[in-house]
């Protein structure tokens, strides 16, 4: 074993210890998972990819791991930690350092991943504004996800009322088909150029369905409406529902996931016969029945 491999193994063991201990709850779990994923440290234990590592090592789906990582990223934004200063995060392993840090901030930290979920996709400044306002509604206690989402909608309403330029962006309706334009939003970059279906609308922000999940509180500037015929729109809605049912099966293989990505990224909703057969075969193998 080379010195590099030895160092990677030691680093992996250290990070996994943080996950097992659950220090600082989801924050450290998400942080450790993020470091393992981004540096591909799972390979030093013989895992081919991060999906398999999560499933076999932690009995955790990739979706849940990504949620924890994204929630940790939001917390880092809330407390304005420099993302390149890993030593600072490492120092929080000490209970005294953590307690001292908590005394330095004037707002409560979240207690679970779900509280951070409504903030994913917003810019750091907006995340901090929403969290502080939501916390004030609960008397300085960490607010539940429902209040965080409600507060985000409230703030977006104010933006809509004070910024007339936003009116031209709010042209999507439930059931419309759009293309994701991630720009500089890290949480959307994985879906850059993918098509989506508008699931819900709250003034000028949207919940949208992509092939493997629902993304919440997406701002209109990240969505480009596709002009579709009614036949294309209904085909897209039906196809999206089928892709999400397949994606929800935790045991799907890498090849099936690659097929889902293909269907979810190309803007072709009226499938040719061979593609319809491929999709039907996958559903049959997974025991999925379409009503």
Determine the angle formed by the axes of helices 62-78 and 124-137, rounding to 10 degrees: 80
Per the confidence metrics, is the pTM higher than 0.75?
Answer: no
Considering the domain architecture, whether residues 87 and 138 belong to the same structural domain is answered as no
Considering the domain architecture, whether residues 258 and 190 belong to the same structural domain is answered as yes
Considering the domain architecture, whether residues 15 and 85 belong to the same structural domain is answered as yes
Per-residue model confidence (pLDDT) at position 147? 92
In the chain, the number of structural domains is 3
Considering the domain architecture, whether residues 126 and 41 belong to the same structural domain is answered as no
CB 199 within 8 A of CB 209: yes
Q: Which residue, 60, 76, 105, sits at the end of a domain?
A: 105
Q: Which domain holds residue 90?
A: 3-105
* 157 burial via Cβ count (<10 Å: 0-12, 13-18, 19+): middle
Considering the domain architecture, whether residues 99 and 124 belong to the same structural domain is answered as no
Per-residue model confidence (pLDDT) at position 25? 65
Residue 277: CB atoms within 10 Å:
11
Per-residue model confidence (pLDDT) at position 98? 59
Per-residue model confidence (pLDDT) at position 167? 46
CA distance 62 to 105: 32
Considering the domain architecture, whether residues 47 and 10 belong to the same structural domain is answered as yes
Per-residue model confidence (pLDDT) at position 199? 93
Considering the domain architecture, whether residues 184 and 158 belong to the same structural domain is answered as no
Per-residue model confidence (pLDDT) at position 169? 45
Considering the domain architecture, whether residues 137 and 200 belong to the same structural domain is answered as no
Considering the domain architecture, whether residues 204 and 278 belong to the same structural domain is answered as yes
Taking the alpha carbons at both ends of the chain, their separation in whole angstroms is 54
Considering the domain architecture, whether residues 201 and 291 belong to the same structural domain is answered as yes
Considering the domain architecture, whether residues 200 and 290 belong to the same structural domain is answered as yes
Instruction: Give per-10-residue mean pLDDT for the chain (291 aa).
Output: 77 72 68 88 90 90 86 85 59 59 74 86 82 90 89 73 48 89 72 90 85 87 84 92 90 88 86 90 87 60
Considering the domain architecture, whether residues 157 and 70 belong to the same structural domain is answered as no
Backbone φ, ψ for residue 197 (5° rounding): -115, 130
């Amino acid at each position: 074993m080379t010195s590099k491999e030895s160092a990677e193994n030691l680093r992996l063991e250290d990070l996994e210890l943080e996950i097992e201990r659950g220090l600082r709850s989801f924050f450290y779990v998400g942080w450790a998972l993020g470091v393992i994923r981004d540096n591909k440290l799972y390979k030093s234990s013989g895992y081919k990819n991060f999906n398999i590592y999560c499933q076999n090592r932690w009995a955790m789906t990739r979706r849940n791991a990504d949620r924890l990582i994204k929630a940790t990223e939001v917390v880092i934004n809330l407390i304005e930690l420099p993302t390149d200063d890993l030593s600072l995060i490492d120092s929080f392993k000490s209970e005294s350092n953590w307690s001292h840090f908590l005394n330095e901030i004037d707002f409560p930290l979240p207690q679970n991943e779900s509280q951070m979920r409504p903030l994913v996709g917003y810019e750091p400044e907006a995340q901090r504004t929403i969290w502080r306002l939501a916390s004030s509604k609960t008397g300085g206690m960490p607010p539940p996800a429902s209040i965080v989402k409600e507060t985000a909608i409230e703030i977006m309403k104010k933006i809509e009322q004070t910024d007339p330029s936003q009116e031209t962006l709010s042209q999507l309706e439930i059931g419309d088909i759009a293309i994701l334009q991630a720009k500089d939003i890290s949480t959307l970059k994985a879906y850059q150029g993918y098509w989506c279906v508008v699931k819900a609308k709250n003034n000028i922000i949207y919940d949208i369905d992509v092939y493997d999940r629902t993304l919440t509180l997406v701002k209109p500037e990240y969505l480009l409406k596709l002009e579709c015929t009614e036949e294309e729109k209904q085909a897209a809605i039906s196809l999206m529902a089928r892709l999400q049912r397949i994606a929800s099966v935790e045991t799907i293989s890498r090849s099936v996931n690659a097929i889902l990505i293909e269907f979810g990224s190309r803007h072709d909703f009226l499938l040719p016969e061979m593609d319809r057969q491929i999709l039907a075969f996958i559903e049959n193998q997974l025991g999925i029945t379409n009503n």
